[in-house]
Each structure stands twice: as structure tokens, then as C-alpha cells.
Amino acid sequence: MSTKNVSEKDIVNFFVPKKSPQDSLLVTASVSMIAGTIALTGVTPSLSQVVRFPLAVSVGSLTISLFLLLWYNPRLENRCKLMKHAAGRRVEKAKEDIQKFVKFFYAPLFKAKLISNLQKLQLKKFSTRKEFEKALSSATDRADEATKPSFESDNFTVKMFYKDFLTDMYFMEEKIFHSPLDESYSKLKHFLDIFSFRFRYHFFVVGVVALTFSIITHLLLK
């Protein structure tokens, strides 16, 4: 069974929420129903108060839902950009940390093993340059093989750094998506972010139900 290669981009996108595709459809539907309801009220002045009241509730709810939809998606996109930027920098830092660890931990071991092998070469006599170069190449390869990270140690190194990376990403996600941003009127905007996230669909449903109720009531009163 083949394993799918995971890139740094995949890791970054894992922490970025996807925009809901239905939001665009609800924006179009809200605009259409608001315009249709207002037009209906204008061309039918004889509508009873029993019908006009749910129509007013419908227009009000759909208008609020439209505002929340139009507010939420650009704000989500802005936070996603911040998250991608922060996550991208943190991924690069994790890679650099791993490279530094390998360089400063395994390279000295390689050098020590190589010097040990070269000291053994000093005790030997070589008749030709080619014979010495072959022995030197063998000593280098043996030093590299002896100090090359095993699968277990290499896996441990990656796990150690990415565990720290994922911990940072968790708190970074909390800060970017669930806390006020560093901007003017941050608390008010954060309140609207939360309110739009939780209630943009609720107001749309209330608007549709009120509109449906008004239509049924109008038909029954005819």
C-alpha cells in the first residue's frame, strides 16, 4: 500500500479552516428574497397586518443574516491568511531546527569516527596514490555508515521537533481564530466575528420561516 506524500503546504492547510461553499449561495438567496419581499409589499398595499408582520420579520432577519454573511467570510479569509503565514514560518523553523540538530549532533560523531579511521591508516604503508585514495574513501564511508542516524533515531528527532511544532500551532490557532486581532476596535470586531460565526445561519432560517408563514397566511386569507 502506497503512502501519500505530505508536503509542508499540507501541514499548513491542516490548521486553516475551509470557507463554507454554501455561504455564497445564502448571500444570493438572501438578496433575492429581500428584494422580492420588498417588491411584493410595494405592489400589494392591501396586505393585512397579519401578513405584513411576518414579512417585516423576514426582511429584518434576512438583512441581518446577509450582513453577518458578508462580514464573516472576509474576516475568516483575513484570519486564514494570518494563520498560513504564521504556520508557514513555524514549519520552516521546525525544518531548520531539525537540520541544526543533525548538524551539531551527528557531524561531530562523524568527525570523531573519521579521525579514528585515519589514525589507523597512518599505521599502514601504501605503494601508490590510487591505493591510498581507495583506503581513504573506504575510511570515510565507514565513518559515515557508523554515525548515520538510524531510522529510529531519525524518526525520534523528527517526532521531537514536530511535537513542539504542533503544540505551538495549537496555541497559535487559538490566538488567531479565537482571540481579538491586533487592530483598531478589535474587541467590537471580535464580537461581530463570533456573532456572525454562530448566528448567520439562524437568522437566515428565521427569515425563510417567517416568509413562508406570511405567504401561507396570505393565501389562507384570500
Q: In this predicted model, which residue has the larger pLDDT, 41 or 188? A: 188
Provide the b/e sequence for 30-62 (b: ≥16 CB within 10 Å): beebbeebeebbeeeeebeeebeebbebbbebb
Q: What is the mean pLDDT of residues 37-53?
A: 78
Mean pLDDT across 5-20:
71
Provide Rg for the chain, Cα atoms. 33
**Residue 29: pLDDT band by 50, 70, 90 thresholds?**
very high
pTM of this prediction? 0.65
Phi, psi of 175 (to 5 degrees): -70, -40
Angstrom distances, CA of residue 79 to CA of 7, 83, 222: 22, 6, 51
Task: Quote the pLDDT of residue 1.
Answer: 42
Mean pLDDT of the chain: 79
pLDDT in tens, 64-89: 999 999 999 999 988 988 888 888 88
The mean per-residue pLDDT over the stretch 81-107 comes to 77
Please report, as a single letter, which amino acid is at residue 61.
S
Question: What confidence score (pLDDT) does residue 66 get?
Answer: 95
If you ran DSSP here, which 8-state letter would residue 1 be given?
-
Q: String of b and e for 130-163 (b: at least 16 CB within 10 Å)? A: eeeeebeeebeeebeeebeeeeeeeeebeeebbe
Of the given ranges (42-46, 81-85, 152-156), which has the lowest mean pLDDT? 152-156
Is pLDDT of 150 > 60?
Answer: no
